[in-house]
């Protein structure tokens, strides 16, 4: 494997990790889960997904600093 290929692989892995930690992939995971396990139910829009997620976080703050 060339140095360029190694750097590209490392960059893609780091980008995936950052996106996962920041929640960028959450809607995509929801859609995949919904289609796989609840095929008969409609998939909500990304906007509605985030609205519900933030409403749930505000209603049940759990362990967070603020």
pLDDT band at 23 (very low <50, low <70, confident <90, very high): confident
Find how far residue 12's CA is from the centre of its chain.
16
38 has pLDDT over 80: yes
Q: Which sign does the torsion angle of CA 21, 22, 27, 28 carry? A: negative
Percentage of the chain lying above the pLDDT 70 cut: 94
How far is it, in rounded angstroms, from Cα 12 to Cα 41?
Answer: 33
- Output the six-digit token pair for 23: 């929640």
CA distance linking residue 7 with residue 57, whole number of Å: 37
Cβ(43)–Cβ(35) below 8 Å: yes
Q: What is the pLDDT of residue 65?
A: 66
Please indicate, yes or no, whether the overall pTM of this predicted structure exceeds 0.85.
no
Is pLDDT at 4 greater than 90 in this prediction? yes
The whole-chain average pLDDT of the chain stands at: 90
């Amino acid at each position: 494997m060339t140095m360029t290929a190694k750097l590209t692989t490392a960059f893609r892995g780091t980008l995936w990790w950052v996106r996962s930690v920041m929640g960028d992939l959450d809607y995509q995971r929801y859609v995949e889960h919904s289609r796989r396990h609840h095929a008969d139910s409609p998939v909500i829009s990304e906007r509605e997904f985030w609205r519900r997620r933030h409403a749930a976080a505000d209603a049940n703050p759990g362990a967070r600093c603020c």
